[in-house]
Amino acid sequence: MLEIKNLQKVYGIPGVSAKPALNGVDLSVGQGELVGLFGENGAGKTTLLKCVLGLLGYTGTITLDGEPVTRANIARLSFATCEHSFFPHLTPAGHRDFYREHFPRWREKRFQALMDFFRLPMGKAPRSFSTGQKNQFEVILALSQGADYILMDEPFAGNDVFNREDFYKVLLGILEPTETVVLSTHLLEEVEHFVGRAVLLRGGAVVGDTSVLDLEERGMDLMAFVKSAYGYEPDRVSRALDRLTEEGEEDAP
Amino acid sequence: MRQHKHLSLLGLWVENCLGRVLAQLGLMAALEIIVFGARLYLLPERPMEETLKGVPSLFMAGWIALFHLLTHCGDERRAVGCTLRRLRVSEGAALAWKGLFGAACFLLLWAVQTAVCLGMGIWYAAAVGPAYRSAQTVLLAFYRVPFLHSLLPLAETAGYLRNLLFAAAMGLETGLCSWRMRRGSRALFGRAMAVAAAFLFSQGMGGLTGSLWLGLGAAALAGLDALLALTYGEEGME
């Protein structure tokens, strides 16, 4: 169980240029869950994932099966980011050897199968890959690390729709019941059938947390849930247009 | 075959950079030989130091280019830090291995430059007339010309020590620069140090005390920089 309690993160210098990014986040993610992390830009999704990984300092507590995240258990977490965390000059074969050494539960068979499926060359440095291929490679590494918790931050930014669809299908097919995925993305409709739970962040706090099954029972889709949690006003655009048209008429000579 | 987890880090830098480092050293040597050869044939019968003009500048450029290359091995990218900070070894250990690899590259630069200059000396001795040639032309050039003497300080032990300390300091700084860039910094201190070291390395020795102080100063600065970074700079500048 990944447990986050009262997580707070402030960027900048307190009292001078402090900018709160996370404001008391409470979240529990059980093993085997597929969680979608949604929210507008600046909602705190990336910051939350980086705090979980220990890449950023924070106040509050983050535990993995009751233990704080340290070098002793960090290998239970993997991370795929659209910024790409692989070594750009190291070939996939080189990555395989390196990861095998540092992550004791490295999944050799899965790595090879995914590399074959996406037809990525083993001997070519990923810096020369296309954006789509780089994303694929990033996710392949995260899935092959042997982690219990796979954190993904907009992993498919730049991939075409067919490519993304393939990936979701493959993901659903290969994930074991004990593997947990926390996927941060803007592509609500696409992941609706992939995630089992949706967590919504706004202004650094959780403003919505529901299972997709609950939504279906309530006759709602993910987009409707997000809109309602965000207090989206459907007539906002028409009201703005009306106002603009009225102003235009007043301005006319 | 299973490697040791620490050795795999060294392997990472080797696989990432060594090819480009060798290519860069080859380019530097080729340019120096072209410049030296052109001066030797266009301006014949000159003292060795005059024929050598331009070579120290190319060496300095090579030094700075090597520093730049080593700090841009791909590990300077912020996202790569996410991987480097999740390994089974500490980031301090990763920095140490990168520093070791960097120091080895600077020692290689020193060795290549010395070999190239020795070759140039032999070429010079064969090409000039008897007025500029003696049985000890090459040896005397390495004794007299400050740039050559700094490369091969002959019996001056402090000179070798200075060069070793410079290489160690530069190696550590390459690791630190990448470490800082991963956290969003421009690592200006390390770059400034590389430029200063490139200039000082190619200058005359300044005697036993001066050489030792220079080397120790460079190593102490790099060491202090590493200590400050590892003590106060754990969190990224997001």
CA distance A142 to chain B (A): 10
* Mean pLDDT score of chain A: 89
Nearest residue on chain A to B17, alpha-carbon basis: A89
What is the maximal distance between C-alpha atoms in chain B? 66
The alpha carbon of residue B159 is apart from the nearest alpha carbon of chain A, in Å, by 36
Task: Extract the tokens encoding A51.
Answer: 């705090």
- Tell me if ipTM is over 0.90: no
Smallest Cα distance from A245 to chain B, Å:
43
Helix (H) or strand (E) holding A151: strand A149-153
Which residues on neighbouring strands pair with residue A80, listed in sequence order? A152
What is A104-120 written as a DSSP string? Answer: TT--HHHHHHHHHHTT-
B15 touches A: beta carbon within 8 Å:
yes
Q: Which of B4, B5, B12 to mutate to test the interface with A (most CBs of A within 10 A)?
A: B12
Instruction: Tell me the backbone φ, ψ of residue B122, rounded to 5 degrees.
Output: -65, -40
Q: Residues A66, A70, A72, A73: is their CA dihedral positive or negative?
A: positive
Burial class (CB in 10 A: 0-12, 13-18, 19+), A153: buried
Q: Is the pLDDT of residue B13 over 70?
A: yes
* pLDDT tens-place string over residues A42-68: 899 999 999 999 888 899 999 999 999
Chain A interface includes B14 (CB < 8 A): no
In this predicted structure, what is the pLDDT of residue A249?
A: 62
Test mutation, A89, A129, A151, chain B, max B CBs within 10 A: A89
| pLDDT over 90, % of chain B | 43
B138-150 pLDDT, tens digit each: 899 998 898 999 8
Mean pLDDT of B112-123: 96
Do the chains contact at B77 and A88, CB–CB below 8 Å? yes
d(CA B148, CA B171): 22
Q: What is the pLDDT of residue A40?
A: 87
Q: What is the pLDDT of residue A227?
A: 84
Q: Do A98 and B11 touch (CB under 8 A)?
A: yes
Taking CA atoms, A58 is separated from A5, A17, A253, B155, in Å, by 11, 17, 59, 57
Record the tokens describing residue B62, joined without a space: 């090579």
Chain B hits for A101, Cβ within 8 Å = 2-5, 8
CA B32 from centroid of its chain's CA atoms? 16
Query: Could you tell me if A77 and A64 are in contact, meaning their C-beta atoms sit under 8 angstroms apart?
Result: yes
A20–chain B Cβ distance below 8 A for any pair: no
Residue type at position A67 = E
Q: Which of A36-50, A155-169, B104-118, B131-145 has the lowest mean pLDDT?
A: A155-169
DSSP-derived secondary structure for A190-245: HHTTT-SEEEEEETTEEEEEEEHHHHHHTT--HHHHHHHHTT--TTHHHHHHHHHH
Whether the per-residue pLDDT at A243 is higher than 90: the answer is no
Average pLDDT over residues A79-105: 92
State yes or no: pLDDT of B237 exceeds 50: no
Q: Would an 8 Å CB–CB cutoff place B3 in contact with chain A?
A: yes
Q: Hey, what are A95's tokens? A: 């990555």
User: How far apart are alpha carbons A4 and A159 in whole angstroms?
Assistant: 31
Mean pLDDT lowest among A29-33, A222-226, B110-114 = A222-226
What mean pLDDT comes out for the span A103-126?
94
Question: Can you tell me the distance from the alpha carbon of B103 to that of B164, in angstroms, rounded to the nearest whole number?
Answer: 9
What is the mean predicted confidence (pLDDT) over B40-50? Answer: 90
Q: How far apart are CA A174 and CA B99, in angstroms?
A: 40
pLDDT of residue A65: 92
**Strand, helix or coil for residue A12:** coil
Collapsed DSSP state (helix, strand, coil) of residue B178:
helix
The residue-averaged pLDDT of A232-242 equals 78
How many CB atoms neighbour CB A226 within 10 A? 20
Rounded CA-CA distance B27/B62 in Å is: 9
Is the model more confident about A235 or about B45?
B45
- Among A184, A194, A112, residue whose Cα is nearest residue A150: A184
What's the pLDDT at B207?
57
- Where is average pLDDT lowest: A86-95, A210-219, A243-252? A243-252
Closest partner CB to A11 (pick from B4, B78, B238)? B238
- Per-residue confidence at B77, pLDDT binned at 50, 70, 90? confident
Separation between Cα atoms, residue B155 and residue B143, nearest integer Å:
10
Identify which of B76, B69, B32, B70 has the alpha carbon closest to the alpha carbon of residue B54.
Answer: B32
Confirm or reject contact between B83 and chain A (CB < 8 A).
yes
Domains in chain A, CATH or no CATH each: 2-251 (3.40.50.300)
Coil, strand, or helix at residue B96?
helix
| Residues of A whose CB is below 8 A from B12 | 87, 90, 94, 98
Q: Which of A91, A101, A103 is opposite residue B3, by nearest beta carbon?
A: A101
Q: Is the pLDDT of residue B135 over 80?
A: yes
**Block residue for tokens 């005359």:** B204
Is pLDDT of B225 > 90? no
A90 touches chain B (CB under 8 A): yes
Which pLDDT tens digit goes with each residue over B168-219? 999 999 999 998 888 888 888 889 999 988 888 877 655 555 677 888 888 8
Q: Residue B233's pLDDT is what?
A: 66
Token output for A161: 């729709």
Comparing A46-50, A196-200, A217-221, B124-128, the range with the smallest average pLDDT is A217-221
Tokens 């089974």 -> residue: B88
Cβ distance A85 to B82 less than 8 Å, yes or no, reads: yes
Chain B residues touching residue A84 (CB < 8 angstroms): 77, 79-80
- Of B172 and B157, the structure prediction assigns the larger pLDDT to B172
Banded model confidence at residue B19, pLDDT cuts 50, 70, 90: very high
Strands A67-68 and A205-211, by their bridges, are: unpaired
Q: What is the dihedral of CA B116, B118, B122, B125, to 10 degrees?
A: 110
- pLDDT above 90 (res A156): no
Instruction: Return d(Cα A56, Cα A9) in angstroms, integer.
Output: 8
- Taking contacts as CB-CB distances below 8 angstroms, the residues of chain B near A134 are none
**Mean of the per-residue pLDDT values of chain B:** 87
Asked if residue A101 has pLDDT above 50, the reply is yes
SS3 A37: strand
Q: Is A85 helix (H, G, I), strand (E, B) or coil?
A: coil
What pLDDT, on the 0 to 100 scale, is given for residue B236? Answer: 42
Distance CA(A20)–CA(A9), nearest Å, equals 6
Give Cα separations from B226 to A171, A252, B65, B92, B180 (angstroms). Answer: 42, 68, 22, 9, 10
